[in-house]
Amino acid sequence: MSHINLRDHVGVPLDRPVRLAFAGAGARGAAYASLAEEAGAAVVAVAEPRPPARERFAVRHARAETFADWRDLAARPRLADAVVIANMDDGHREAAEAFAALGYDILLEKPIATSEEDVIAIGDAARKADVTLAVCHVMRYTRYTTELMKALSDIGEIVSVEHLEPIGYYHFAHSYVRGNWRRTDLTSSALLTKCCHDIDWLGYVIGRPVHRVSSFGSLSYFRPENRPIDAADRCVDCPLQDTCAYSATRMYRDGLRNGGTRQYFTRIMAGELTEEAVTTALREGPYGRCVWASDNDAVDHQIVNLEYTGGVTVAFTMTAFTPVEHRHTKIFGTKGQLTGDGRFIHTYEFLTERTTTIDTSLDGSSAAEGHAGGDEALIRSFVTALHDGHPDLIRSGIDDSVDGHRVVFAAERARREGTVVTL
């Protein structure tokens, strides 16, 4: 069965569905596969080392050939037009290089990789193989971003920006205190794993390269010395579990019983939504630990100051200590101000002193559910680009993504060394 690359049929639609393979069937891979089928793609293969996740994927996508490891998939002759790489972050380079060499077009989950060297190497591999490689910077694809870009003309030239990433107290406790991204030696910095989205998005909005970077931040609260005197090592044994905002028992059992955003995190921690699975995970797994008795070192607050060419400045803050909500942005222009919260966009024009409001909501979903329509829009754009031969639909190409990641690494150097880094 022949397979085709986007570069080979620009402007000419395929006469069949796009065929996709998946390297990774965790939360992101499984969600993307379902969205891809809704967009008209054929899911033909999956590689996932965990049997339960692999079996769930196979049940949902019955035509998909299954593999226990992405290397087994890569050892076969090419099975699809493109591959979605959604394995763990530290495995991205090896997988991306292998699939690029086989000729697959690639959709790569962010971050590109966990080191600057690996990020650059993946970009080089895509260019050498002459394949399309898009990164899952979903913020570029939301209706909110599309409308915001249109509204920028109302405020003149951008002079400066304030941007806040409110990670959310229980999201941070789940992912960056108890979860997979809690330690920089196992993954990378929280700025990279959580906020490469934001740095990429700011560059997309401003449309200029970063010139200089400074940064400050630390792990200030989720430390052993802040542990309450009566706290137990595990929340299920803790007398404070009903009064602690970070109680794992309250968070995950609420997700089990009531759905919503917390159900997403409960499924990740327990594997399945049953009382038995949640109880076992709370008693035995990392997600049941006290937030002051984990082995975490990810910073819980950080600011990044960016100076772009031409003098545009950005003050960016990420923090754990918020509700789980949309990002907040203020853009200050020569003719007005734009204020956005991930759903509403308000533009104030100096000349008329009038405020215009745009509601970009698609379905009223929360910040953690589908990234405000970004997941669906990303996958639809990628599938349609490959099917219809329209590379312009891909807004998050590898070159821009590499540039954004390099800014993140520069910010971390600035924070650790207490200096200003010039790019």
Instruction: Determine, yes or no, domain membership for 373.
Output: no
> Domain check: are 304 and 195 in the same one?
yes
User: Does residue 366 have a pLDDT over 60?
Assistant: no
Q: Which of 237, 267, 288 corresponds to the end of one domain?
A: 288
- pLDDT value, residue 362: 65
> Domain check: are 330 and 279 in the same one?
no
> Domain check: are 18 and 41 in the same one?
yes
Task: Find residue 357's DSSP bridge partners.
Answer: 346
pLDDT tens-digit series, residues 41-82 = 999 999 999 999 999 999 999 999 999 999 999 999 999 999
What domain range includes position 168? 140-222+296-367+397-422
> Domain check: are 202 and 253 in the same one?
no
> Domain check: are 71 and 103 in the same one?
yes
pLDDT tens-digit series, residues 111-167 = 999 999 999 999 999 999 999 999 999 999 999 999 999 999 999 999 999 999 999
Q: Which residue would you say has higher pLDDT here, 259 or 220?
A: 220
User: Does residue 368 have a pLDDT over 80?
Assistant: no
> Domain check: are 355 and 413 in the same one?
yes
- pLDDT value, residue 25: 95
> Domain check: are 198 and 321 in the same one?
yes
> Domain check: are 271 and 361 in the same one?
no
* DSSP 8-state code for residue 14: -
Residues of the chain above pLDDT 70, percent: 97
86 contacts 109 by C-beta, under 8 angstroms: yes
> Domain check: are 218 and 271 in the same one?
no
Instruction: Determine, yes or no, domain membership for 124.
Output: yes
> Domain check: are 12 and 119 in the same one?
yes
Mean pLDDT value across residues 236-252: 95
pLDDT tens-digit series, residues 317-354 = 999 999 999 999 999 999 999 999 999 999 999 999 99
**Considering the chain, what is the average pLDDT of its residues?**
95
- pLDDT value, residue 370: 46
pLDDT tens-digit series, residues 250-278 = 999 999 888 788 898 998 899 889 999 99
Q: What are phi and psi of 419, to 5 degrees?
A: -140, 175
Q: Which of 288, 316, 340 corresponds to the end of one domain?
A: 288
User: Does residue 365 have a pLDDT over 70?
Assistant: no
- pLDDT value, residue 235: 97
Domain count, the chain: 3
Domain of residue 109, CATH code:
3.40.50.720
Cα separation, 345 vs 366, whole angstroms? 16
Instruction: Determine, yes or no, domain membership for 390.
Output: no
97 contacts 66 by C-beta, under 8 angstroms: no
- pLDDT value, residue 275: 93
Instruction: Determine, yes or no, domain membership for 413.
Output: yes
Instruction: Determine, yes or no, domain membership for 316.
Output: yes
* DSSP 8-state code for residue 362: S
Report which of 117, 15, 36 is spatially closest to residue 83, judged by C-alpha positions. Answer: 36
- pLDDT value, residue 361: 86
What length does the chain have? 423
Instruction: Determine, yes or no, domain membership for 266.
Output: yes
Burial of 191 (0-12, 13-18, 19+ CB in 10 A): buried
User: Does residue 371 have a pLDDT over 70?
Assistant: no
Across 62-66, 150-154, 240-244, 358-362, least confident range: 358-362
Q: Which of 288, 306, 321 corresponds to the end of one domain?
A: 288
- pLDDT value, residue 213: 98
Mean pLDDT value across residues 274-285: 95
The band of 195, judged by pLDDT with boundaries at 50, 70 and 90, is very high
> Domain check: are 118 and 181 in the same one?
no
Instruction: Determine, yes or no, domain membership for 384.
Output: no
> Domain check: are 336 and 416 in the same one?
yes
Instruction: Determine, yes or no, domain membership for 192.
Output: yes
Q: What are phi and psi of 308, to 5 degrees?
A: -95, 160
Residues of the chain above pLDDT 90, percent: 91
The band of 372, judged by pLDDT with boundaries at 50, 70 and 90, is low
Tokens representing 138 are: 């979903």
Instruction: Using DSSP, state whether 55 is helix, strand or coil.
Output: helix
